Structure 1
Amino acid sequence: MRIKVFTAPHLHEALAKVRKDMGPEALILDRQQSKDASGSSLWHVHAALDNSNPVETAKPTVKEVKPADTRTQASPHVDATIRRLERLVEGLGNRESDSLRQALTDNAEQLAFDHLSKLGIAASHAFDMAGDFAQRKPTGSKTIRWSRRINPGQQQHTVLFSGPAGCGKSTLIAKLAAHYSMKGIRIALISTDTERMGGLDSLKAYASTLGVPFFPLNKLSDAANILRQTQSAQLLLIDSEGWSPRRDIGLRRQTGLWDAMQCTERFLVLPANMDEEDGMQLLAHHTASAMTHLAFSKLDETQKPGKIVNWSIAAGMPLGYCSFGPEVPEQMGWLTDQALTAMLSKASRDVTA
């Protein structure tokens, strides 16, 4: 039996080292947490692998196979291999989750870990957040980047909202425009969604209802003219054409227009009802468009709101606005660690009710 100690700053990182070195059959003997010379946390995982009885494999018999037979037999063999890999990956995920849960010695923290996991938060993040969540402290204050709420009353802000089609960008902009208009802030609405039939209609209608100026931005020469006409505006809100990783021609076309508008903040809007993996693919494109913040919409349309935690940590971008529901200007706010904790607590109660 081979026994080895794996050390890392976080428990899930040490467990990942175990899997990489010893594979899925490794047995976790012990976990210990300590401090290094600078006072930072370290995890030591003692793992063992029984390799005393290697399995003997018979030498394969070489048999000539016709090309036609190979094509006929390949598909079932590939399908079986894929199924085995899927079961292996699922087993590794369950094993990591169990190991992280067992490392939490407090029953309340284990229960918090279970609640966070049910909401869709990855096991490694649920482990880091369980302590605060169990004590009803602000959750994610150390693992998620937070940003300061914009204040157009002090300085002009030009805020862009980008994201997939149908993600709720226009609705969120309308909520913000109504919210700040009622506070006496001078607003201007702009849209680069000029290539799609009807792309301007929704935001133009909101602008008419609110009584604020609206400008379509179709080409670079329009930007200078819009900037001149909106010099007195305190808040410029820019809508955009939706895009996807597989069809990002709209993203590439609009990037130059956004640069010309000298945006102070660029929000990537992710709808909470989106599949988590699809959201991760969108995040992989955010560097190309220089997005600076994350915003989440449709938080009332998902049973797994914890995915926004996974997206936030994966992107490493600070959080900003969130919205839930179609009402304008209600059901919108700025995400903070307190707001996230309240949202996760309510979702957890709804799941267990």
Structure 2
Amino acid sequence: MPKAQETVLEIDLKALKHNFEHLKSRITNNTKFMAVVKAFAYGNDACEIACYLQNLPVDYFAVAFVHEGVKLRKAGITKPILVLHPQAANFNILIENCLEPNLYNTKILNEFITIASAEKLTDYPIHIKFNTGLNRLGFSENDVNTIAFRVKETSAVKIKSVFSHLAASEDLNERDFTISQIETFKKITEAIATQIGYKPLLHICNTSGILNYPEGHFDMVRSGIGLYGFGNSEKENKNFKPIGTLKTIISQIHDIEKGQSVGYNRAFKTDAFLRTATLPIGHADGIGRQYGKGKGYVIINKQRAYILGNVCMDMIMVDVTNIDCKEGDEVIVFDSNTTAEKLAETANTISYELITAISQRVKRSFVEN
């Protein structure tokens, strides 16, 4: 990869393909694959990522909100797109763009059927989500009769899939709970298929579900974080390649005398001479203030340089006292070796939060190494 001359997130499309192929190797040929590209494809660029994946055997895409799906359509995505958390105010736009809604309670099911009927639609694909233990979104098991009645009395919609979400599939200490979710899902889906008279697609597995619970693969699986290079465990991470490398440069080097301070609120004060490097990346770029005061670090010439004081909006200062470096040198914030997961751990958070927080003002560069 070329040396950085500014702050840039380099995205390795071959690593993306590798991750997709590994996930596909863990499912049967008959199991469909849904690529989750919500939240700007976990901070990478949803349109670019989806356009690349569309040329691979991806069957479905998933986004969180309607406007995310609209952007994919405008970018040329023609495959089905599930909107995981649609709002009724956007149903007309959803329909105009041939997006498919997840309907998760009676209120939103009724609202969508009303609009679909008014538009004189026939068999418009909808997805029904059941809550099996995550307690976030979804119908309860007791709602099966209501759903079946509403769907059967109209020709405007047809259930394309029934799904749920595992709560702790990455934690094998919670295996009994996860198995109970899968068994509850089986019971629910058998009941609803019997009542509506046909079998929709069934899916419950996220990335860790794909890896840990083959008995839960059903007709389709969903993957987000796995596509971007993380397997949610030290063992599984070895099979994945993080696709993002966040780079920046050294803007300026300062010699700081004993007793001086660095940054806002004088949050760091020296007790001896040190040398600092100022980098053009800050909390407006996704490096939150929780990484300051020595918790987070970057890599300069293969050595760790710890963040000093508070993270600024557009800059951070790091300790380069014992690092041979100069202004203009490349800095690695995270890559496939010093991963986003490792950096996130220094601030007691997870890779998901770090990579999805990378601001869209940071330039994205796509490479195929």
Same fold flag (TM > 0.5): no
Q: Which structure has more strand as a fraction of its residues?
A: 2
Larger-Rg structure = 1
Higher helix share: 1
- Structure 1-normalised TM-score? 0.32
Q: Which has the higher contact order (CA 8 A, sep 6+)?
A: 2
